[in-house]
Structure 1
């Protein structure tokens, strides 16, 4: 029986991806103006970014235990292998909730072929891991093979990104108030990356003109052969700059495949409008 791939909405994949590769998705929740929305389903990222530009502060919460229990139970009953690739456990409690529900469901269905993996990835970096797993599933690969590839791919997925305003990361508890204040004051643009699933500041660049050039230098330092891999770019409602970065990457590295998506509502609620993120596999892959 074909392996089913499950992802959550923090993968920032489009509905086209989910449909084309037959991926199942569960949503994180976005709280905005006293209403709850399902990320990727009942709210658009644009609505979140516009609200943030107006000074509103959306909040997010993880996928509910009931959602995981319902999905896991249905696959346990049909005995279809299910592989849930989760958003980084360092950025959300979603993975831990999934593990708890996996154990609960396996009390009733001890042989249920349910597998849960913490990718330690986010946004399209996470989405690229999910897409490759879904392609392998469609090709009839075993759950063991898919899981092994996904773990290796996730461990070697680089996340290099910048935000337009550090204030949003401060509100989300990602940087200190001092760092946010000083960065905004001096027009410093931070470059951050993900290390063991956590957001870690990498460098500070004065002014935005040098930013993309430096991101490409980091890409060259850390990456291997880019021609045959899919590069990911996600953006906080700034398609023009995302496409500018993509063009620079094509010109410099001869890359053929670049996936550009908007940073979804759940991650965007913390990163804010103007975020630009770059994802690629490093030399160790």
Structure 2
């Protein structure tokens, strides 16, 4: 048996994760001095509500005890695991998982666990975890699944997104001051991407429609181009724009399989209200990701 584990930065819909037996370990969210467990005592709607009220929610990495509880649960049963982690360039969570894994192996020396730094987040990380779970369910060998996850984590899955306010990303330390000021002063829609696990400003567009068209253009330029490949779309409390982007991708590029979801609490705290993102396997990949089988 193979168990895929990831964390709540993955933004997979809860039912989809359950259908594919993906175990999601939660981050911690802080609002007004109170601590909440992502996906259990707080959800993205709560974060967006707090943002609308002018509050400034923050996050902290997955606590070590959560990793200990999860890893030992599977170690006791002799289950082989793969943990697809949120980018180590954006959080210390992956490194914490590695330290806890070493402690667990002292007690369970035969425990087989591979920790994969996805160098990604949101549905890019989610697509990697989902593909791993699908491969495992289809009977792939453990090493084959690990190799696929490592392949996808090597700048193999792209993130292209736009946000309404770069100030949230700047305050969270995700982008520099100059980029944030550029967006607010010029009143442009920034187009960002993730490279080697870090958020970077790619270019700018004037207005939402131009930004969405540019996202479509980037997919046309960079994606593997397989119409059966699975495309991820997330939005920060802006489902209408997410559906608009989905329709544009269907019409322009013929994609058939999508996961559309609200961005989760972890990244919602840093991105703020508004914004939309697309996630896809790029031309660097020699193998398309599996089409969606069950929602």
Range into which the TM-score falls when normalised by the shorter chain: over 0.9
Assess if the C-alpha contact under 8 Å between 2:175 and 2:199 holds in 1: no
Q: State yes or no: 1:9 paired with 2:2.
A: no
Return the alpha-carbon distance in structure 2 between the equivalents of residues 250 and 226 of structure 1.
Answer: 12
Assess if the C-alpha contact under 8 Å between 2:179 and 2:201 holds in 1: no
- Alignment RMSD (CA, Å): 1.2
Following superposition, the deviation at residue 267 of structure 1 comes to: 0.8
Deviates further, 251-260 or 175-184: 175-184
What residue in structure 1 maps to residue 263 of structure 2?
A: 263
What residue in structure 1 maps to residue 172 of structure 2?
A: 172
Return the alpha-carbon distance in structure 1 between the equivalents of residues 237 and 274 of structure 2.
Answer: 6
- Counting only pairs closer than 5 Å after superposition, residues 52-71 of structure 1 correspond to structure 2 as 52-71=51-70
After the TM superposition, list the runs of 4 or more consecutive aligned residues in structure 1 that deviate by more than 6 angstroms.
none
Q: What's the CA shift string for 1:62-117, capped at 9, x where partnerless?
A: 11111111211222221110111111111111100000001111122222111111
What residue in structure 2 maps to residue 112 of structure 1?
A: 111
Assess if the C-alpha contact under 8 Å between 2:204 and 2:211 holds in 1: no
Q: State yes or no: 1:48 paired with 2:73.
A: no
Return the alpha-carbon distance in structure 1 between the equivalents of residues 209 and 13 of structure 2.
Answer: 30
Return the alpha-carbon distance in structure 1 between the equivalents of residues 75 and 266 of structure 2.
Answer: 29
Assess if the C-alpha contact under 8 Å between 1:235 and 1:275 holds in 2: yes
Return the alpha-carbon distance in structure 1 between the equivalents of residues 130 and 159 of structure 2.
Answer: 17
Deviates further, 40-49 or 113-122: 40-49
What residue in structure 1 maps to residue 218 of structure 2?
A: 218
What residue in structure 2 maps to residue 27 of structure 1?
A: 26
What residue in structure 2 maps to residue 235 of structure 1?
A: 235
SS at match of 1:82: strand
Q: State yes or no: 1:95 paired with 2:94.
A: yes
Return the alpha-carbon distance in structure 2 between the equivalents of residues 256 and 232 of structure 1.
Answer: 11
Assess if the C-alpha contact under 8 Å between 1:3 and 1:140 holds in 2: no
Return the alpha-carbon distance in structure 1 between the equivalents of residues 28 and 77 of structure 2.
Answer: 28
Name stretches of at least 5 consecutive residues in structure 2 with no aligned partner.
Answer: 286-295
SS at match of 1:209: helix
Assess if the C-alpha contact under 8 Å between 2:124 and 2:279 holds in 1: yes
Return the alpha-carbon distance in structure 2 between the equivalents of residues 240 and 103 of structure 1.
Answer: 45
Following superposition, the deviation at residue 154 of structure 1 comes to: 2.8
What residue in structure 2 maps to residue 125 of structure 1?
A: 124
Assess if the C-alpha contact under 8 Å between 1:226 and 1:253 holds in 2: no
Following superposition, the deviation at residue 178 of structure 1 comes to: 4.0
Deviates further, 207-216 or 169-178: 169-178
Assess if the C-alpha contact under 8 Å between 1:224 and 1:281 holds in 2: yes
Return the alpha-carbon distance in structure 2 between the equivalents of residues 53 and 247 of structure 1.
Answer: 28
Name stretches of at least 5 consecutive residues in structure 1 with no aligned partner.
Answer: none
Return the alpha-carbon distance in structure 2 between the equivalents of residues 193 and 52 of structure 1.
Answer: 23
Return the alpha-carbon distance in structure 1 between the equivalents of residues 67 and 218 of structure 2.
Answer: 38
Q: TM-score, normalised by structure 2?
A: 0.93
SS at match of 1:210: helix
Q: What's the CA shift string for 1:107-157, capped at 9, x where partnerless?
A: 222221111111111101111111111111212222211111111123210
Following superposition, the deviation at residue 179 of structure 1 comes to: 3.1
Deviates further, 134-143 or 119-128: 134-143
Q: How many residues align?
A: 284
Following superposition, the deviation at residue 37 of structure 1 comes to: 1.1
